[in-house]
Amino acid sequence: MKKLHLITLVALLISIFSFAQEQKSIYATMSLSDALELKKDLPEEVEILEKRRNEAAVYFTEHAGHFLHDKVLVHGPGYIFKSSREEAIAALYKEIREIPANRMPFTITEDVLVNQALDLINTQNIEDHILELEAYGTRYHDYAIAIQVSNDLKDKWEAMAALYGRTDVSVRLFNHVNTNMPSVIMTIEGADTPDEFVVVGGHLDSTSWDNNDAPGADDDASGIATMTESIRALFELGFVPNKTIEVMAYAAEEIGLVGSAEIAQDYANNNVNVISAVQFDMTLYNGSAIDVSFITDYTNATLNNYLMSLMDHYNATGDHQVTYGTSLCNYGCSDHASWTGEGYMSAFPFEANFGQHNGDIHSPSDTYSLVGSASHSAKFAKLCTEYLIETAKSNILSVNDNEASTISITTQNGQLNYNLEASTSEFESLSIFDIQGKKVSETSITTKRGSVSTQSLSTGVYVATFTIDNKTSVSKKFIIK
Ligand code: BES
Ligand code: ZN
């Protein structure tokens, strides 16, 4: 009898040992019901560390993770990655900050600018950008190419800001602990209250059951392209926000919201005042009778209602008509959940009602040509633009429709002549940027009429940017023939 026990014990130890050897395991939190079901199916591979309310901290093999994904949910893995046992358990006990009621009156006041911006949204740009991201192949967070993708997006965003002469815009990489892939963050500094942040985000990584081929066009090149076009339209308009805008391309979403969780946690630790964060993850596939479906779980009702009233206001009829509805994701299925988890307001306008969405995500068939048309994404770019302008609000000096027409420039005999006499602003400098966004000259402005030499410029398109305080600017294009 005793001997038998000993044998059992040894066998058990060996099996635990070899289990730990063979299988890479991870810590995570998931819904309690999923955890219990998974434990029942794969008792050897799953350890429930702790339960609280309807959630559990779990330690399980990667194999069990895939099993959960296939069985319990029709989409992604269904768990939120944690880097250690302690973190997984702590996540269960995390007290989420209460969002103060009416901390921020969401208003609709910027009709002129918003309507101009909506006309500038260019569907072709969105398509081009999706194809560009898809062409990398698999953007799995663990692959070397993923780091390249982040660096290239940083360059692309920087060039875009420079092209429009934006000295108030910067782009940085956010390095992570739990992935080598950095996230990319563009910051448009608020002219009036820079400590208030308005965030939009999407994820830059992709995954697939065939990780040799995860083009991730819809999931989520489409979200990145949607936000990029919205920002380009704001730049073309010369929009300068009062609050700081941040555009985030998150790393490693597909393995459990890793990039966004680290960013949201960092912002919360530093008490960063994020007014709200809107997620764009999958905007390409037009699968429902309505265009936009607001995911109502793991998001904030006040923010959802506000976005719906923006759409009632700007998208009810006409050229920019977009319809909407609501549905549930049933899980913290994308990066909005990271912000919600840190006590920030978040929303997730999604491509279709849940269940009618693109069924080919996480597969080699998630390509632009198979999924849809960027005209569906363009509707989300419009919503993104409305949200950014109305939440961040326009700085008065940035109202470019008047200001731009009060500045005139001409080129003649190797000179760029400017006339600011009709303008009420006191511009301090004139910078010239080439088409790559490189600054080629900067001149201080002392009189309302003046000129700068263009002799050294080769033929091509340039942008002349008149700036006050290094912040507010008005840009005009010119051509050297
Ligand atoms: N884009 C998906 C989320 C999604 C898929 C939302 C289908 C609605 C319908 C995202 O990239 C993803 O796969 N998320 C995972 C969860 C996450 C914690 C890894 C998921 O949906 O399970
Ligand atoms: Zn996604």
10 Å CB burial of residue 292 (0-12, 13-18, 19+) is buried
CATH of the domain spanning 401-480, picked from 3.40.30.10, 2.60.40.3080, 3.20.19.10, 3.40.50.1980 = 2.60.40.3080
Peptide bond just before 469 cis, omega within 30 deg: no
Q: How far is CA 409 from the centre of its chain?
A: 37
pLDDT at 73: 52
Q: Is 221 in the pocket of ligand 1 (CB under 6 A)?
A: no
How close is the Cα of 331 to the center of ligand 1, in Å?
9
Pick the CATH number of 24-92 from 2.30.30, 2.60.40, 3.30.70, 1.10.287: 3.30.70
- Domain spans of the chain, in order of start: 24-92, 111-392, 401-480
Q: In what order do the strands lie in the sheet with 46-52?
A: 46-52, 55-61, 25-31, 80-82
CA-nearest residue, atom 12 of ligand 1 = 76
- Please identify every residue annotated as catalytic: 203, 219, 253-254, 281, 362
* Residue 80: predicted pLDDT: 86
Which atom of ligand 1 lies at the shortest distance from residue 257's CA?
18
Q: Which atom of ligand 1 is nearest to the CA of 332?
A: 18
Do 111-392 and 401-480 fold alike per CATH?
no
pLDDT confidence of residue 72? 55
Q: Which segments of the chain have a pLDDT < 50? A: 1-2, 4, 17-21, 399-401
111-392: CATH class: alpha beta
